[in-house]
Chains A and B, each alone.
Chain A
Amino acid sequence: MPTRNIIEVSNLSKTYRKGSAGEVKAVDEVCLEVPEGQFLTILGPSGSGKTTLLNLIGGLDKPSGGKVILDGLELSKLSEGELVRVRREKVGFVFQAFNLIPTFSALENVEVALAPTDMSKNERFERSIELLESVGLGQRAHHLPVELSAGEQQRVAIVRAFANKPRILLLDEPTGNLDTKTGREILRICHEANKEQGQTVVAVTHAGYVRGYTNRLLFMRDGKLFSQIPQEEFEEPV
């Protein structure tokens, strides 16, 4: 039985106006289908439009043209409230810069994702602790981000993305600020989520070693997607 596509992108474009430089097409007529449960990685150099594509897929940005269908919902047709529900329930974001709230402890940074839900305070607390323990941060739950290493901060960001059990995990350069060893650890966590819980993962990165964790690779350059990966894009042996 063929797996259904949880993400469908057709003719997606995003154009920015940049002063005298005129218009810049960050994403140019991209078409993409991602079957449920796939771990897709999009490689590409900086400025190729990877992050913009991810933001459009996750409903954080509005396209200039084309459409995104996420789990059967066409994002451009959703109201602001429905889009909020999509971001809360269907999608989990992990950013390169971790994007943790600096005044919150690791625990509170996870709880904050559960705050707009119907969960009670106790349920939020238990779920957050359970998630932090699952990535080995149970003892660090009450530490502020500044007291955590880069790898620990990214693990907090990942469990925050997992908090609402989203069906899609969007990773924007998840290893960009980490050394290779820590980066591999982060990818392993995402890989396990993909394998064990069937979450669909879309990662954009320029780290070649991601290849070992993914089951589909695409390449992006100048806003366009390609299925052929240039060998020079791999920074290190896989």
Chain B
Amino acid sequence: MIPFTYAVKEIRRRKYRTAVNIAGFIIAISTLITLVMAARGWETCTKVPLNSIGTDIILFYTAPVKPAGTGCYIVNHLFSYPFNQTLLTEIEDVPDVECAVPILMHRLRAMVFTGIDPSETETNAVLPSSIIEGRYLTAHDGYVALVDNEYAQLNNLTLGSTVTYAADFEVVGIVEVSATNIMKSHIYVNLPIVQEVLPEKPVGLVNMGLIRTSSPGKVEKTATALEDEWPNSSTLTGSDLAETAFGVIQINEDTAWSISIALAVITILFTIKSQLSTVAERTKEIGILKAIGWSNSNVVNQIAIESVIQGIIGGLLGCALGYIFASYVLSTIGGEIGGALNFITIDPIILSIGFGISMVSGIVAGLFSSWRAARLVPVDALRTI
């Protein structure tokens, strides 16, 4: 255990240098964890709310459209006026638009009542995959509804029960809709029925279009094209949603990794430089060790152990600090989208990777500097003061 004892003594002897080295590891690792988790949170803000319902763009009108209808609250603070459903057929002719699905969402106090076209099973306010009990709607359905599981439990609704919103509906399916689903409603009914039963009688009208594009790279371009073509319309994309999530570092995960890896490389170089200075200060000691029969590998092990110990301490503290920072950053995600993303937790794999990078950095720095130390000729090393 001499090498370990020696390493601990050296670390204690060079407190300042050790502290600086460890601080380097802490900064690199905690930054990595914070950035990656924040980026993941931001990407979730960007993608999950829309992607979970298979759409890229939500189209709506914030000003009355002729023929005028009554506005309905939709997502959070967005207010959408009804527009003619045939508009969506025109939208489907726009380049890069794969489909435009009609939605009529009506809100009465806290209750949200949504009309959907059940023939659209890939992009819709609620998808068949959300069914946990009963069945999905069909185009021929009349006064039947899907109800949200939470709402059903609160109101003791089961299959066959009756739920009331402007009319009575028989519950044929219970759906589990994630809090991240921006279209989360209490009741889903066939669109023509909703148009028929609402007091405003918005026959042939909808107040949202869910638009799917041909590729993720076309989303922003298509949204702009739609707003240009229909000047009074507004679009909501993943990026718009992310901007409403305050307090989040708006970078993607690839960028976060790139920054983190660059930081890790800088840390390795810094630690190598620092360890080389340590080796330079201990040249005579290394000469003594070689004179009394230590081999090059003994010397390499010795110096590398010191560096690895620093890497381990730095990695553990970096992970702990990263966990705290990332927890704080993630707790701020949500904002305008109602804390819907609080489900994001710190990934233990990221912590492990952070710790691993710290260890590897310690090993690389240790091996490089110890290799330099091992090459010293004993007599030259002994001559140093």
Contact = CB atoms under 8 A, between A and B. Distances in A.
Q: What's the interface size class on A, roughly?
A: 20 to 34
Contacts of B225: none
Counting contact residues on chain B (CB < 8 A from A), the size range is: 20 to 34
Contact of A60 (B12, B289, B378): B378
A30 to B, nearest CB: 17
A73 to B, nearest CB: 15
A87 B288 contact: no
Interface stretch (A113-121, A182-190, A199-207, A212-220): A113-121
Contacts of B377: 60-62
Contact of B382 (A95, A101, A116): A95
A103 B9 contact: yes
Nearest to B381: A60
A103 B10 contact: yes
Contacts of B2: 108, 111-112, 115, 124
Interface in A121-170: 121, 124, 160-161, 164
A103 B379 CA distance: 22
Contacts of B293: 84-85, 87-89, 113, 116, 164
With most chain B CB atoms within 10 A of its CB, the pick from A60, A85, A93, A111 is A60
Contact of B288 (A101, A108, A116): A101
Contacts of A104: 6, 9
Contacts of A116: 293-295, 298
B253 interface: no
Given A84-B295, A99-B284, A112 B6 contact: yes
B239 interface: no
A23 interface: no
Contacts of A108: 2, 5
B292 A88 contact: yes
Given A87-B290, A103-B9, A108-B5, A55 B379 contact: yes
Contacts of B292: 87-88, 93, 112-113, 160-161
Contacts of A2: none
Contacts of B5: 108
B6 A87 contact: no
Contacts of B13: 103
B154 interface: no
A179 interface: no
Interface in A55-102: 55, 58, 60-62, 80-81, 84-85, 87-89, 93, 95, 99-101
A150 B294 CA distance: 25
Q: Main SS of chain B's interface residues? A: helix
Interface string B1-26: 11101100110110000000000000
A112 B1 CA distance: 10
Contact of B294 (A55, A58, A60, A115): A115
B296 interface: yes
Given A99-B382, A103-B9, A80 B296 contact: yes
Interface in B286-336: 288-296, 298
Interface in B140-171: none
B378 A115 contact: no
Nearest to B12: A103
A108 B292 CA distance: 13
A84 B294 contact: yes
Contacts of A89: 293
Nearest to A95: B382
B285 to A, nearest CB: 6
29 contacts: A55-B379, A58-B291, A60-B291, A60-B382, A61-B379, A62-B377, A87-B292, A87-B293, A87-B378, A93-B292, A99-B291, A99-B382, A100-B288, A101-B6, A101-B285, A101-B289, A103-B9, A103-B10, A103-B13, A104-B9, A108-B5, A112-B292, A113-B293, A115-B3, A115-B294, A115-B298, A116-B294, A116-B298, A161-B292
Interface of B: 1-3, 5-6, 9-10, 12-13, 284-285, 288-296, 298, 377-379, 382
Given A62-B377, A84-B290, A88-B294, 5 more contacts: A61-B377, A84-B295, A89-B293, A93-B291, A99-B382
